[in-house]
Amino acid sequence: MFMPFPWRRHFVRSAPRPSTRLSLEALEARTLLSTSPSSLVVDPLNGFNNVNIAQSSQGQAETTIAIDPINPINHSLDLTDSYLFAASNAPPVAGSNHFAAYSSNEGVTWTLSNVSTIPKGGYDEQATFDQYGNLFLTYLAGSNVVVAWSADGGKTFAGYKVLGPGDQPSISTGYDPATGKGSVWVSYQNGGYIQASGAAVSGPLYTRTNTVGTFSKPQNVTGSAGGDYGDTKVGLNGDVMVTYQNPIGVQGQASGQGPSTIYVNLYTGGVTTKGKVGTFLAPVTVTTTNVGGYATIPAQPSDTIDAEANLAWGPDPSNASNPDGRVYLVYTNRPTLTSAATDIYVTFSENDGTTWSQPVRVNDDGGPLGDGKSHFLPAIAVDHSTGFVAVTWYDARNSTTNTTAQIYGTVSTDGGLTWIPNVQIGAGLSNGVAAGNFNFGDYDTMDYANGVFYRSWADNSSTVFQYPNAHLPDMTPATARVSVVATTSVVTSGAGASPALSQTQGFQGASAPATPGPATSKGSQSVVSAEQNSESIDHLFTAAGKAGQGAVWFRWTHGDLGGAGSDPTDGLATDEVFQTVGGL
């Protein structure tokens, strides 16, 4: 099951009733995802669409970014504000340590983290927040995989665990079926196998020192011999999935170009506080790709690319009662083993990875056959407040020579079936060849919460440097805040009119909700009644205020709540009640 965020309201049943009740929370009037958005919008931060996170004179790439979904700035009611953490590989100078930073103002400015309490290193970094607001960071310290954790969003670090030797670790958090609380899982390549280790997490780190349990002994994932370049994700019900491609081939040889097969393995048993776990199930074939482990393209000729299979796991938009949810997998493919026309594809599963949908290409340039340009190093994330999924990638569509790239992205509001038109996120083209043999690096990450997503990336364009750019052509970690413009129609019927629903935003469930009845104003609250039989629903919608006033954003959260608050005047057999936090 998905562990709900603390900002969702909880009610106590006062008397059994056959109906369910829905509660609303007012949000600031700003762009949010909808079922029919017009476009993605890159929000200016401090006057710049792209922000230089590092503000450093040393080259850095392979970036990660994470949003704390339960800690809006100053604990305000604006759920689109978020606390952020970012990291990248250490600058390539002797004695250098991590680059890690945090932002408490939506990414406008960044402050360096104190990493003095964790092992020195800082390569192949990935970060994530859990449902308690704990931050987890995995990285390489020399040849060893480390997991570190923070109680204050990355300002400082409270503890760490060295898991052992490995490469390219990935990390995920979520529910733990063994303890009924939380968990953190890491997978990586070691000794020719994908290895995985997990630990139970019993609550917020700031409340106690023993919140993180014992990490399980790293185990070889069943059937993963020869696999590499993958990802880890914890599902809604606590299942753990790893993905990887196999074979990867040999760098500099034809085998490194491809082909390759992308697999997933599932683990369903959770992890105890003492680190006891079971074994992963046998691998399942997801798809094949013509992108091997060391495929060369003009924009990444030295460091090369792989299929970069990555996972995201969220609610199932076609069946809200499905405990497995829907898991998405993004990867890179191309028409032949030597083609530079690499494209980004997404497939999904509604049954814990047993079967997968027909892959859909998400980059929309060049029509059905593409334009011959390169698209590579994708990232993917799900917004659990809406169920929408976002994908971002490096894109060379604007490069006449196919040698430079910038970040593009898109969002699906229907569970990966269709995707809205691509939007340019990176303001300028970056040159991986000019940056040296590391090019753009091996991977970056993104995160998505409360209607907004962030992608971090390696950038050496002049457009991102709002600070002195003497370090060009070295890369620096950059980011952008991306929201979606919703197509809304606010209804006002004259002075003093009661608010009325104008459009449902972000529906999660088997079908669209019934049309709500008229609203009535009750002091500082507005109550709206409607029929609704779907379960586990989370909506965003707008309502008009009195004449001359603007629209107000609401969150509509499903719950079988019972008790008082229904509107008996609407004539419906059963009532669904919505309440604003402060009224209109």
Domains of the chain: 21-27+488-579 (no CATH), 37-486 (2.120.10.10)
Residue 520's pLDDT is: 31
Q: What is the mean pLDDT of residues 308-333?
A: 94
pLDDT at 39: 66
Count Cβ atoms below 10 Å from residue 210 Cβ, excluding itself. Answer: 9
Contacts of 37 (CB under 8 A, 6+ apart): 411, 413, 420, 484, 485, 486, 487
In the numeric block, the tokens 């890179």 are attached to 332
Q: According to the model, what pLDDT value does residue 497 have?
A: 30
Q: Return the pLDDT at 96.
A: 61
The answer to whether 445 and 75 are in contact (CB under 8 A) is no
Residue 450 has pLDDT above 70, yes or no: yes
Q: What is the mean pLDDT of residues 444-472?
A: 81
Over residues 176-225, the pLDDT tens digits come to 999 999 999 999 999 999 999 999 999 998 877 679 999 999 999 999 99
Distance CA 161, CA 197 (A): 11
DSSP 290: S
CA distances from 416 to 330, 337, 350, 523 (A): 11, 27, 12, 42
The span from the CA of 169 to the CA of 125, in Å, is 8
pLDDT bin (cut points 50, 70, 90) of residue 368 is: confident
As given in the structure block, the two tokens for residue 342 are 């690499």
Q: Are 429 and 407 in contact (CB under 8 A)?
A: no
pTM for this entry: 0.78
292 Cβ contact list (under 8 Å, min separation 6) = 245, 247, 248, 249, 255, 256, 257, 258, 259, 260, 306, 307, 337
Distance CA 101, CA 111 (A): 5
pLDDT of residue 555: 33
Tell me if residue 464 falls in helix, strand or coil.
helix
pLDDT > 70? residue 523: no
| Contact (CB, 8 A) for 408 and 392 | yes
The pLDDT of 447-459, averaged and rounded, is 93
- Looking at per-residue pLDDT, the higher value among 422 and 463 belongs to 422
Cis? peptide before 91, omega within 30° of 0: no
Predicted pLDDT of residue 16: 32
pLDDT of residue 554 exceeding 70: no
Percent of the chain topping pLDDT 70: 71
Distance separating alpha carbons of residues 375 and 390, to the nearest angstrom: 16
Among 265, 194, 187, which Cα is nearest to 228's? 194
* C-alpha span between 397 and 425 (Å, rounded): 13
| Cα 516 from Cα 502, distance rounded (Å) | 10
Helix (H) or strand (E) holding 295: strand 295-297
CA distance 101 to 97: 13
- Total residues belonging to the chain: 584
For residue 137, give the 3-state DSSP assignment.
strand
Whether pLDDT at 45 is above 90: no
Percentage of the chain with pLDDT > 90? Answer: 57
Tokens of 446: 């993104």
In this predicted structure, the answer to whether residue 384 has a pLDDT above a threshold of 60 is yes
Burial 347-384 (b: 16+ CB within 10 A, else e): bbbbebbeebbebeebbebeeeebeebbbbbbbbbbbb
Query: Region 139-163: what's the mean pLDDT?
Result: 95
Amino acid at residue number 17: R
Confidence of residue 302 (pLDDT cuts 50, 70, 90): very high
Amino acid 72: pLDDT: 54
Contact predicate 344/361, CB 8 Å: yes
Neighbour count for residue 74 (Cβ, 10 Å): 9
pLDDT band, very low/low/confident/very high, at 93 (cuts 50, 70, 90): low
DSSP 216: P
Give the pLDDT of residue 27.
Answer: 25
- pLDDT, mean of residues 385-393: 93
Q: At residue 367, does pLDDT exceed 90? A: no
Residue 494's contacts (CB-CB under 8 Å, 6 or more residues apart) are 547
- What is the distance, to the nearest Å, from the Cα of residue 322 to the centroid of all Cα atoms in its chain? 20
Predicted local confidence at residue 284, as pLDDT: 98
Choice between 437 and 280, residue whose per-residue pLDDT is larger: 280
Residue 405 has pLDDT above 70, yes or no: yes
Cα within 13 Å of Cα(393), Cβ side: 30
Q: What three-state secondary structure class fits 73?
A: helix
Work out the average pLDDT over 480-495.
53
pLDDT at position 81 is: 52
pLDDT score of 210: 75
Cα distances (angstroms) measured from residue 266 to each of 208, 218, 242, 380, 393: 31, 15, 7, 19, 26
